């Protein structure tokens, strides 16, 4: 990534030391707009400056990966970065009832706008591009349009959706799902993190009122269409001569919590045949998930477990696995979850669905319009979840632009996109915004 390879990547150039305000100072003169302004610009220098102001936040120096979780000090610094970038561009910043940040060029109450953007949070030890690329290119595209003298007929918005990865509370796309009503506020707020802190409490600790959280039709009413640019999380474009693709569909996917019950007992005195070991049940289930995925053509992952009591010399009394399953067809997803549950004794296992997103098709007219503007790049479906999918399922015309990822690796510090491809993303986003916001709806 860029921190290790300055000059070859659009990623972070250097981890930034914190200043007293926690941010590089942006200086004065926010009212001045255009490429001449320090900090603005859609070329590689402008892009590098945007990255460099963000790169230090939540970066783990030992791995180079990111730990940016909802409603933590890192999240606050990300939100402050977003606000600063809006301030320097004279965009009007608002927050919705879930705390997602929306910045506007123009008046969305007069006419629903064209919105772009993505998320800034990460998975544990995530890469620099998943999420931030969509926000950074959004600002750079606005800089480009302004430098070109473009005047939008419809307002243009940039959004920073909170808690997309669900890394802290386990609820994917919590920010967009709550405002669209796909996730009841009560269900989100009562979820606890690994330390037992509820989302409501995390909200309070960050100076917010959890009672204000809920569906936000007023905010959604301002969104005429949504185009999310994102690094590709696979190798669909890797061997392609084109740096960009257009998203057409997101696979159905979900997360399940699987609790296995055992009986604690002494490791040195309990015969193997007499044991009820929660962890061996979990291990069988993990292998069943793999077998089922291969048989059904699904993707099944257990990436997180908790074992009780966690003593070297005690038989595990309880074990919890979080199961992530995705597939092109919902039946394959459901089949794999059932296979995993069936791998354990029924009286000793409980499966709870923590999050579910049905198959999502992006808006065909919007996809066609993007295709025409961008000279017909490849059309692609994806198994990764995105806020664009949540908005699409809420009836908002949405689509995605994917930027080539040479290794296909994502959710890892090794995630990478070449700077030239990111710049192609800025060009594409600017062209799409000009097309969508340059005409009367």
Residues at the contact surface with ligand GLV, assessed by CB under 6 A: 165, 172, 384-385
Quick count: other Cβ atoms within 10 Å of Cβ 62?
Answer: 8
Quick count: other Cβ atoms within 10 Å of Cβ 283?
Answer: 17
Q: Which does 224 bind (CB under 5 to 8 A by kind): ligand GLV, Mn ion, none?
A: none
Q: Is 131 in the site for Mn ion (CB under 5 A)?
A: yes
Nearest Cα residue to 52 out of 109, 13, 94: 13
CB of 268 to ligand GLV, least distance (A): 42
Spatial distance between the Cα atoms of 203 and 179, rounded to a whole number of angstroms: 16
Surface-to-core class of residue 373, CB atoms within 10 Å of its CB (0-12 exposed, 13-18 middle, 19+ buried): middle
332 CB-side CA count, 13 A: 20
What residue number has its CB nearest to ligand GLV?
Answer: 385
Give the x-and-dash track for 84-123 against Mn ion (CB under 5 A): ----------------------------------------
Q: Which is nearer to Mn ion, 400 or 437 (CB)?
A: 400
CB of 404 to Mn ion, least distance (A): 16
Q: Which is nearer to ligand GLV, 247 or 385 (CB)?
A: 385
Spatial distance between the Cα atoms of 312 and 264, rounded to a whole number of angstroms: 12
Q: Is 130 in the site for Mn ion (CB under 5 A)?
A: yes
CB of 386 to Mn ion, least distance (A): 6
Q: Which is nearer to ligand GLV, 24 or 165 (CB)?
A: 165
* Packing angle of the helix pair 419-437, 364-373 (nearest 10 deg): 120
CB of 228 to ligand GLV, least distance (A): 12
Q: Mention every residue, 6+ apart, whose C-beta is less than 8 A from residue 369.
A: 435, 436
Three-state SS sequence of 46-64: HHHHHHHHHCCCCECCCCC
4 CB-side CA count, 13 A: 13
CB of 182 to ligand GLV, least distance (A): 15
Q: Which is nearer to ligand GLV, 152 or 385 (CB)?
A: 385
Q: Which does 385 bind (CB under 5 to 8 A by kind): ligand GLV, Mn ion, none?
A: ligand GLV
CB of 130 to Mn ion, least distance (A): 4
**Which residues contact Mn ion by CB under 5 A?**
130-131
């Amino acid at each position: 990534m860029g921190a290790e390879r300055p000059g070859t990547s659009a990623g972070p150039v250097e981890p930034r030391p914190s200043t007293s305000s926690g941010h590089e100072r942006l200086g004065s003169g926010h009212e001045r707009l255009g490429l001449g302004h320090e900090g603005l610009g859609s070329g590689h220098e402008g892009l590098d400056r945007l990255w460099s102001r963000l790169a230090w936040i939540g970066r783990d120096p030992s791995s180079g990966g990111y730990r940016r979780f909802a409603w933590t000090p890192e999240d606050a610094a990300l939100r402050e970065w977003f606000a600063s970038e809006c301030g320097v561009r004279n965009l009007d910043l608002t927050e919705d009832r879930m705390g997602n940040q929306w910045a506007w060029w123009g008046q969305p109450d007069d006419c629903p706008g064209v919105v772009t953007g993505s998320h800034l949070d990460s998975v544990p030890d995530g890469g620099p591009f998943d999420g931030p690329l969509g926000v950074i290119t959004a600002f750079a595209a606005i800089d480009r349009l302004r430098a070109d003298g473009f005047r939008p007929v419809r307002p243009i918005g940039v959004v920073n959706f909170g808690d997309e990865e669900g890394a802290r509370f386990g609820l994917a796309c919590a920010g967009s799902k709550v405002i669209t009503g796909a996730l009841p506020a009560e269900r989100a707020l009562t979820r606890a993190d690994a330390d037992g802190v509820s989302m409501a409490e995390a909200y309070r600790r960050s100076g917010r009122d959890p009672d204000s959280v809920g569906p936000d039709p007023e905010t959604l009413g301002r969104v005429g269409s949504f185009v999310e640019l994102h690094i590709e999380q696979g190798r669909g474009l890797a061997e392609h001569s084109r740096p960009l693709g257009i998203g057409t569909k997101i696979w159905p996917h979900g997360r399940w919590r699987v609790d296995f019950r055992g009986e604690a007992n002494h490791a040195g005195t309990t015969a193997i045949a007499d044991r009820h070991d929660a962890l061996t049940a979990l291990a069988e289930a993990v292998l069943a998930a793999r077998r089922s995925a291969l048989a059904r053509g699904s993707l099944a992952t257990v990436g997180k477990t908790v074992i009780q009591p966690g003593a070297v010399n005690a038989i595990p009394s309880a074990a919890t696995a979080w199961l992530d399953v995705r597939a092109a067809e919902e039946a394959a997803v459901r089949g794999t979850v059932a296979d995993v549950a069936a791998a354990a004794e029924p009286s000793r296992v409980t499966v709870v669905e923590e999050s579910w997103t049905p198959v999502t098709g992006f808006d065909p007219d919007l996809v066609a319009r993007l295709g025409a503007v961008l000279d017909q790049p490849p059309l692609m479906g994806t198994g990764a979840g995105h806020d664009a999918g949540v908005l699409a399922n809420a009836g908002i015309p949405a689509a995605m632009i994917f930027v080539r990822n040479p290794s296909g690796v994502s959710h890892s510090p090794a995630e990478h996109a070449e700077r030239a491809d990111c710049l192609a993303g800025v060009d594409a986003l600017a062209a799409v915004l000009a097309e969508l916001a340059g005409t009367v709806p």
